[in-house]
Structure 1
Amino acid sequence: MTRVPEGARVVLATRNAGKVRELRQLLAGAVPGLDVDAAVVDAGAVGAPDVVEDGVTFEQNALKKARAVAAHTGLIAVADDSGLAVDVLGGAPGIFSARWSGAHGEDRANLELLLAQLADVPDAHRGAEFVCAAALAVPSTPDARGVHSIHFTHVEHGRLRGTLLRAPVGEGGFGYDPILRPTGRDESTAQLSSAEKNAISHRGHAFRALLPYLVDALAARS
């Protein structure tokens, strides 16, 4: 049986505490009086199973995760899938960003392999962007068997353009943050404060675009 913490209203299909914190911060300003610490929980808090990300686009993976978690919990679900798209690689690593070196989540190995592959690429052609698809899935009331279907989904996208550096700079962030310098900035993404990063990031743009749909879904279920 799915365990849902008291007060939970939205589940973010991740176990990344940073992503949960970002969504809580967005909702805190959009839904007055909402206890965001109780209302927004991660996949681990509801015992949601891991979802295989076998889609061929960020949107497909985000939707698959959101739909699966919403059906499992009966809660409104939000999910995202994101990665780095390098111009001279035709958009790669793309959906394979987290496992570019062969093992999922090996940030340092992924970053070092990418830098080696781009070693001979001149600075003028080192353009890249972080890409994010954020998906919302709203479940129906359960049927006679207690099964939830999905009656509404929506997806928004966000991007952060920049230039790839030749070596990692900065200690913040994760993934490829130390090697992307956002357009118009002098620092790598890993050198930005959390507030600065959230204001311009691909995930921040996608979540903010998704926010009105999430607020409407919460209001409809209140």
Structure 2
Amino acid sequence: MKIILATKNKGKIKDFEKLTDKMDIEVLSILDNIDFPDVVEDGKTFEENSAKKALEIAKYTGIITVSDDSGLCVDALNGEPGIYSARYSGEDGNDEKNIEKLLKNLSDVEKNDRKAHFVSVVSIAFPDGTVKSFRGETQGEILFEKEGNNGFGYDPVFYSYDLEKSFGVATIEEKKSVSHRGRAFEKLKKEVLEKL
């Protein structure tokens, strides 16, 4: 069975391939030169953006599609950067600039008030219009400066309560064992993929 993974992120593609290992699923992505439209993520929540992306591509291609929308939510910033995590420092921003802006916005915030969590909502859509979404979270807090260079995005400034270290110094396997995306994907696997 073929499933499209609606992402350009090679890390997410590898994660999903590992997750579906030993299952009768062929994972297709943009790396396989499949033509699918760019979906405007104009939802107000991770759920809305994730479901919209999966549904539009499933209808366009006629193939079951999985997508994820994820981000970092910081309590002291009322949940920011949230759904705008990837473009927090502007459309031309990057990981470095996003981290810089986040640390600047938290510069007056004490350690006890720097709680944060990563969210991932993974959706699976079928060409008939059926969509199911699964949410995963991982808890932690924002450090005062970067620790390590592993991972991507905000990982170097996110201290994981599960691992008792920054995602920036965690190994890929460690991060995967507690990650928001891993938790959402596991729910998807148990609730849907293993029953297909």
Q: Answer whether TM exceeds 0.5 for this pair.
A: yes
The total of aligned residue pairs comes to 194
**Shift of the alpha carbon at 1:48?**
1.2
Matched-pair contact (CA < 8 Å) for 2:121–2:184: yes
Runs of 4+ in 1 over 3 A off after TM superposition: none
Deviations 1:77-107 (A, max 9, x none): 0000000000111111100111111125511
The CA distance in 2 between the partners of 1:170 and 1:70, in whole Å, is 38
Task: List aligned pairs for 1:1-222, cutoff 5 A.
Answer: 9-29=2-22, 31=23, 34=24, 39-45=26-32, 46-103=34-91, 106-140=94-128, 150=129, 152-212=130-190, 213-216=192-195, 219=196
Deviations 1:90-131 (A, max 9, x none): 111100111111125511101100100101100011000001
Which AA in structure 1 matches 2:188? Answer: L
The CA distance in 2 between the partners of 1:200 and 1:104, in whole Å, is 30
The CA distance in 1 between the partners of 2:90 and 2:21, in whole Å, is 38
Deviations 1:13-65 (A, max 9, x none): 10111111111111114x2xx3x5xx101134211121111100000000010
The CA distance in 1 between the partners of 2:2 and 2:92, in whole Å, is 30
Which AA in structure 2 matches 1:25? Answer: K
Matched-pair contact (CA < 8 Å) for 2:163–2:174: no
Percent identity over the alignment is 41
Structure 1 residues without counterparts, runs of 5 or longer: 1-7, 141-149
Structure 2 residues without counterparts, runs of 5 or longer: none
Structure number with larger C-alpha Rg: 1
